[in-house]
Structure 1
Amino acid sequence: MADFQTSTQRAKWIFTPQKLAERYKSANHRAVQLLEKCGTTQVEVDASGSLTYPIEKVDAGGDQGDKKLKPLSVDEERFMRAFYEAKVQEVCSAFEFPHKIQATALQYFKRFYLQWSVMQHHPKEIMLTCVYAACKIEENHVSAEEIGKGIKQDHHVILKYEMAVLQSLEFDLIVYAPYRAIEGFVNNMEEFLQARDDEIQKLESLLKAATAEADKIMLTDAPLLFPPGQLALAAMRIANGVLGVVDFDRLFNLLAFVI
């Protein structure tokens, strides 16, 4: 996790709550403006990844105002993103991908929609492309055809959006997730406590529970607000609060003192 300190994730993709809210509001505002000017928000993407924006409509008069589409609100967009972020986890689980791929795909999806509104690019298509791109960057390559076949979707859509997604991510493709930090914390506990067999089993239970809590955290805005080490500590605290494996505060104060 040491590399996180010099990463583009830390420099460019961690925000204050105010800045994050502004990014979502700006993306929504741009889409609303497109709808008002063009009567549609959909940005078309061709096979090369080139974007074609809607053309400004000519006011023909009449009763066209009665048929005007209503844009999504910022909150409605948030609910739609949340729905498809859960779908990312479902797809990754169906393919039995490691947690790291799931986390990377989710981060890609979150970052993409800091640049765009869901009214401009359908999140179902972006979600699949993010999973595909995450598999490639995490060196667990699965073809677009295999992903498409596994979930009964046209794999050409995945390939079509790949360049648009990468460009929107500004080609910052390395993602740091909390899972490795959780494993490190549990290993440190095991060594520091000189754990015996029964204690090792409890720590393994803590690792499993903390990983599940991290999965939940990854579905929130937290990965865009906090470093992965802090997310890992939060997952550990929540899991330990349920299991009661260790005196969490006392142990980490001791570990901090030793370190």
Structure 2
Amino acid sequence: MAANYWESSQFQRFLLTRYELAELESGHMVHNLSVTEVTHLKIFFANMIMRIGKRIRIRQEIIATAVVYFKRFYINNSFYDIDPYLMTATCVYLACKVDENPHHIKYVWSESKGAFAEVSTDIRFPFDVSDIAECESYLLEEMKFYLVVYHPYQVLIDLNTHLKLAKPSLQAAWSIINDSFCTDMILVYPPHVIAIAAMFLSRVVDQGSLSETDALQWYADLNVDMTDVLQVVGELLAVYDVWSTYSEWRIPELVYRYIADIAASC
């Protein structure tokens, strides 16, 4: 099954445990930022990358690659080290090249600047194309030139050939995977676990073409640790709960407060 393939894949070496992730994040976290505010920041920058991606009309998988690059960089760095808006544009630019849909650096710069202006006049973006080119070098070095990203999307499509979800259910699962990139679970869990959690959360048992009994048997045959799947489901539900308190217009001020607090502690 697909699960066995993913479990044996080389990418498993690059996943973090929850403990490792918490340790890395704590190394550059400021004390007066709440867990909710940190989650809001993750939602905000994932959405910013998506906003830029829509402006330059790239596929969802490329947008997701850019989000993963952004996360990989800031696992070991803070917003004080490199401006997150510059890194956002850079991640989109690099992801387009890696996924063989390149766009001119000036175009990415222009559309990024436009996307930031759409969100808030408080967002300062005093950078030019040379800054993106220089930032790309830092990003590549930080990721040790490991640019491969395995996404849950293809796993969802492959698994759906067996479960045969109704179209609304498949679209719901795809949307849930999109939302998962507002969290760090892509750094912790294999893609097939996230895909199965999205299918589970979209209520596939009663919306798919299989009977409830057949659907439950299908889950059992996957040979996947359902503890991990249910953990992902729980984390997604927790993020949706935090999302209810999210206000995009407040985030730019929070970003600069975060940077200022890091600077003050140095």
What TM-score does the superposition give when structure 1 sets the normalisation length? 0.70
Deviations 1:225-256 (A, max 9, x none): 21000000111111236973355674252475
Distance 1:256-1:97 versus aligned 2 partners, 3 A rule = same
Q: Describe how 1:130-145 pairs up with structure 2 within 5 A.
A: 130-145=91-106
SS of the residue aligned with 1:106?
helix
CA–CA distance in structure 2, aligned partners of residues 107 and 248 of structure 1: 35
Label 1:249 to 1:234 Cα distance change in 2 as closer, same or farther (>3 A). farther
Paired residues for 1:51-200 under 5 Å? 73=33, 75=35, 79-152=40-113, 154-190=128-164
CA distance in 1, matches of 2:32, 2:179: 26
State the 1:166 CA deviation: 0.6
Q: Letter of the aligned partner of 1:21 in structure 2?
A: A
Which structure has more relative contact order (CA 8 Å, sep 6+)? It is 2
Deviation of 1:175 (Å): 0.2
Q: CA deviation at 1:114?
A: 0.9
Q: Which has the larger radius of gyration?
A: 1
Q: Is the 8 A contact 2:206 2:212 kept in 1?
A: no
Alpha-carbon distance in structure 2 between the residues aligned to 1:81 and 1:27:
15
- Residues 31-70 of structure 1: matches in 2 within 5 Å? none
Q: Would the aligned equivalents of 1:27 and 1:116 in 2 still touch at CA under 8 Å?
A: yes
Q: How much does 1:135 deviate?
A: 0.6
Unaligned residue ranges in structure 2 (runs of 5+): 114-124, 224-266
CA distance in 2, matches of 1:224, 1:128: 21
1-side partners of 2:64 and 2:81: how far apart? 24
Q: Could you say which residue in structure 2 is the equivalent of 1:244?
A: 207
Q: Residue deviations 1:188-239, cap 9 Å, x none?
A: 223xxxxxxxxxxx62322222111100011111111210000001111112
Shift of 1:73: 4.3
User: Using a 3 Å threshold, how does the CA distance of structure 1 residues 257 and 235 change in structure 2: closer, same or farther?
Assistant: closer
Q: Is 2:186 the counterpart of 1:223? A: yes
Name the Cα RMSD after superposition.
2.7
Give the letter aligned to residue 11 of structure 1. Answer: R
The answer (yes or no) to whether the contact 1:72–1:119 under 8 Å persists in 2 is no
Q: What TM-score do the two structures reach when normalised by structure 2?
A: 0.68
CA distance in 1, matches of 2:7, 2:138: 25
Give per-residue Cα distances to partners, 1:62-120, cap 9 Å, x unaligned. Answer: xxxxxxxxx86474555434321221111112222112101111110101001101121
* Alpha-carbon offset, residue 6 of structure 1: 3.1
